[in-house]
Structure 1
Amino acid sequence: MGSKGFDRYAPVWETGGVRWFVEQLPGGGVRCIADHRAAFVEVFVPKEYGGDGTGQTLLAELTAIIGATIPEGYV
């Protein structure tokens, strides 16, 4: 999260035990980062796939996979 493009004040939402930072991108897409895991997961959701404008619809499906395969905590 040290990238100069990362917005530490971006909205956060949590689902299924996975916390996501959600950043709106120009053009209507979103950039989402799951943290508090052994590996961060960064997902770019184009406007066409975001559905609700936050990417939550698509990311809800990824949450179960992340929760099952990437342990909580930092290495």
Structure 2
Amino acid sequence: MEVLSNTKVLLGNISGEARDDEIMAVLGASGSDKSTLIDALANQISKRSLKGKVTMNGEILESKLLKVL
């Protein structure tokens, strides 16, 4: 994975799954970018700043759908 000098890799080559009947938590040390990850998943970071995609049930999660959820 190529990283430019002014970029930061949040997650590289990873996938995950959350089920309806589960509670999820994001754990990590102070400064480990937990809030940045949540902001990225919640579409609170400019699309131009991020690479990759967030999907739900196999569909790319668009901002309109995210606002409804």
Structure 2 length-normalised TM: 0.25
| Rg comparison, structure with higher value | 2
Instruction: Using CA pairs under 8 Å that are at least 6 residues apart, name the structure with larger relative contact order, 1 or 2.
Output: 1
Q: Which one has a larger percent strand, Structure 1 or Structure 2?
A: 1
